[in-house]
Amino acid sequence: MPTTERAAGPDVEVVEPTRMQATIARRMAESKSTVPEFQVTVEARVDLAVSLRQQLKDSVAGAEKVTMTDFLVRACALALRKFPEVNSSWVDGKFQRKRAVNIGLAVAPSQGMGLLVPVVHDADIKDLIQISIESRQVIERARSGRPGEGDLSGATFSISNLGMYGVDEFTAIINPPEAAILAVGAIKDVPVVEDGRIVPGKVMRMTLSVDHRVFYGATAAQFMAEVKRLIENPVTLLVSGS
């Protein structure tokens, strides 16, 4: 039989990481080797959130680009205010409770490999439209390579949403010194049981990765139950002090 000879030359292409990629590699390795973590997953019905999002886009000025991630930022911000243990860090053997609720959004850069985490500061005192506008602005500035002061720092909690890529469920690696990160999957149309009947419904799975030094299983479950309650009753996200 004829044989095919491999072309001369190395079998591996060696690519130098960018400064961003090297930093990400170092921080993620540090996180996995030093943070004792566990995960909690819940599934939420998001029919009402999807409907409300469309109503806002159609009828409210400034809401034309509201995303499900914006809903999640608002829901997590309110839940963090209710569960300050989650909005904390473990530093030098002590708990640091953060007074500000600053939510990082894990996004891909516009070009090349890497990860950016622009931050929506004081998300708990901003309404849904403010969050939508600001999150879009900080993401655009970060991707353009011109982040503003504080755009990429100060996060106390992060969200990573891969639902737009068709991912059903995943776990995200905590970004120290934060104590938790929420991984969000795709919205799926599935049959659900409602009042004893099978009906079509929209569901979304969310997984919280937790630094077990900072808070524990019961708090993680209660926090996720609150996020689920808020996202399933999205009118609460439009009301101050929900």
Tokens of residue 98, six digits:
């953060």
Tokens of residue 87, six digits:
């909005």
| Choice among 27, 212, 213, 229 that is catalytic | 212
- SS3 for 116? strand
Please state, in angstroms and rounded to a whole number, the distance separating the CA atoms of residues 89 and 222. Answer: 18
Torsion, Cα of 167, 171, 176, 178 (10° steps)? 90
C-beta separation of 67 from 148 below 8 A: no
Please state, in angstroms and rounded to a whole number, the distance separating the CA atoms of residues 135 and 141. Answer: 10
Residue 212 annotated to the active site: yes
**Beta pairing class for 103-105 and 157-161:** parallel
Please list the active-site residues: 212
